Amino acid sequence: MPDRPDLHARVVAQREQRSADAGRRTRREVLRRDGVHCEVADAQGNTRKLLNFCSNDYLGLAQHFAVVGALQDAAARDGAGAAASHLVCGHHAVHGALEREIADWLEVPRALLFGSGYLASLAVLQSLLGDDDLCVQDRLNHASLIDAARLAGCRLRRYPHGDVEGALRQLRSMAEGAAMLVTDGVFSMDGDVAPLRELAVAARVQQALLYVDDAHGIGVVGPEGRGSITAAGLDVASAPLRLATLGKALGGYGAAVAGDADLVDHLAETARPYVYTTALPPAQAAAALAAVKLARREHWRRERLQELVQRFRARAERHGLQLLPSDTPIQPVLCGSNANALAMSDSLERDGYWVAAIRPPTVPDGQARLRVTFTAAHEPVQVDALADALAVARDRAVDAASSRVA
Ligand SMILES: Cc1ncc(COP(=O)(O)O)c(C=O)c1O
């Protein structure tokens, strides 16, 4: 008989460790959503009305009548699902129309749809890199990019957050083999923007391909919301591939990889997370098409976000809350320990606000935070009230911690 570790016992031990570290994760059921207002149920089935400050629906498009209407019409016409992968019989006209609209919006030759941003990044790295190649990444890149490099089998080297010299050093460390330089455009847990112009130069001198995960930049930053690459004044020659997700500012689900025609066409024929999976439901593509059109033309949504961000930062700083340098709708409030972040999140919930606590391994140890996010549907008075409630939550958490010590 082999003497294997018991997986059930391992799972129990890991769960106990997470409990000891204030690291347990729970889900809340959303019973109803109406813009930024939602009704949620906790594990005991109690319901609460909360003002949501942790969604990625930055432009407030998820429930827009034109977006929902497009989804309903397409579902009535094409059904609930695509019925096959793109290369079999699942590629519908609306998929093609959305790919062309995204390519036109982002001013690139091609866009290719994926089931999610996670799958899209797996596809890019796996299709382009092999065992002898190098992938250099920012230390704070999204987990999907790290997983993508692992799955591609290439060498993964990371550099300190935003450190262009560090990126160059890592690229120089392995001069043979193809190389990719990979970064979030807007960092998902910090809200800051990568130094893309400088990274593009580093990539060029090291003959590496720059891939930008712009999940949180698309729709939000740059002219017409074209994202962080356009905001940095770069084009497809210096940043040949980017990820645009449809599940955040565009309010739906799915993703697109956009950029250089040869590279994108290669993905369509070879990327396993593209070839061996059912195509995005055509109704989702129709919803995204409506959302892209709104995102392109309704500049007031981005202007509103900027106004809310500046207002929040000024008030939160007056309260002495610990913010990070971010101009985007992602405004993390640092809490230090996991227990502190959970206590503040619970306290906010008691006061009617929903702000999720983000803890390691999603963020580095000792940097647990409340990831506050704004949408164009928030009102300035709601943002003021949140900043005040955060200060109260911080004070309550400090009082609770000191009474535990005493
Ligand atoms: C930076 C970043 N990249 C990729 C993803 C994955 O996108 P998706 O949710 O479409 O899988 C996310 C979000 O989950 C993200 O924050």
| Pocket test residue of 55, 58, 118 for ligand 1, highest count of atoms within 8 A of CB | 118
Q: State if residue 374 touches ligand 1 by the CB under 6 angstroms criterion.
A: no
Instruction: Report CA 301 to chain centroid distance, whole Å.
Output: 19
The stretch 224-234 carries a mean pLDDT of 98
Q: State if residue 349 touches ligand 1 by the CB under 6 angstroms criterion.
A: no
Cα-to-centroid distance, 145 and ligand 1 (Å): 9
Cα-to-centroid distance, 245 and ligand 1 (Å): 7
Cα-to-centroid distance, 95 and ligand 1 (Å): 20
Whose C-alpha lies nearest to ligand 1, atom 8?
117
What angle do the packed helices 380-405 and 299-318 form, to 10 degrees? 30
Residue 26 has pLDDT above 90, yes or no: no
Looking at residue 43, its pLDDT comes to 75
Q: What is the mean pLDDT of the chain?
A: 96
- The sheet with strand 110-114 has its strands ordered as 110-114, 255-259, 241-245, 209-213, 179-184, 134-138, 155-159
Q: State if residue 184 touches ligand 1 by the CB under 6 angstroms criterion.
A: yes
Query: Which residue shows structure tokens 């999907």?
Result: 144
- pLDDT tens track for 337-392: 999 999 999 999 999 999 999 999 999 999 999 999 999 999 999 999 999 999 99
Which residue numbers belong to the known binding site for pyridoxal 5'-phosphate? 117-118, 188, 216, 245
Record: fold of 28-59+299-405: Aspartate Aminotransferase, domain 1 (3.90.1150)
* Residue 341 near residue 369, CB atoms below 8 Å: yes
Which CATH architecture group holds 65-297?
Answer: 3-Layer(aba) Sandwich (3.40)
Whose C-alpha lies nearest to ligand 1, atom 15?
215
Which residue numbers belong to the known binding site for substrate? 25, 142, 362
Whose C-alpha lies nearest to ligand 1, atom 4?
117
Q: Where are the domains of the chain?
A: 28-59+299-405, 65-297
Measuring CA to CA, which residue among 260, 310, 252 is closest to residue 98?
A: 252
Cα-to-centroid distance, 83 and ligand 1 (Å): 24
- Hey, do 28-59+299-405 and 65-297 end up sharing a CATH topology, with the first three levels equal? no
Q: CA-CA distance, 311 to 165, in Å (whole number)?
A: 34
| Residue 150 confidence class, pLDDT cut points 50, 70, 90 | very high
Q: State if residue 284 touches ligand 1 by the CB under 6 angstroms criterion.
A: no
- pLDDT tens track for 278-297: 999 999 999 999 999 999 99
Ligand 1 atom nearest 254 alpha carbon: 10
The stretch 9-29 carries a mean pLDDT of 93
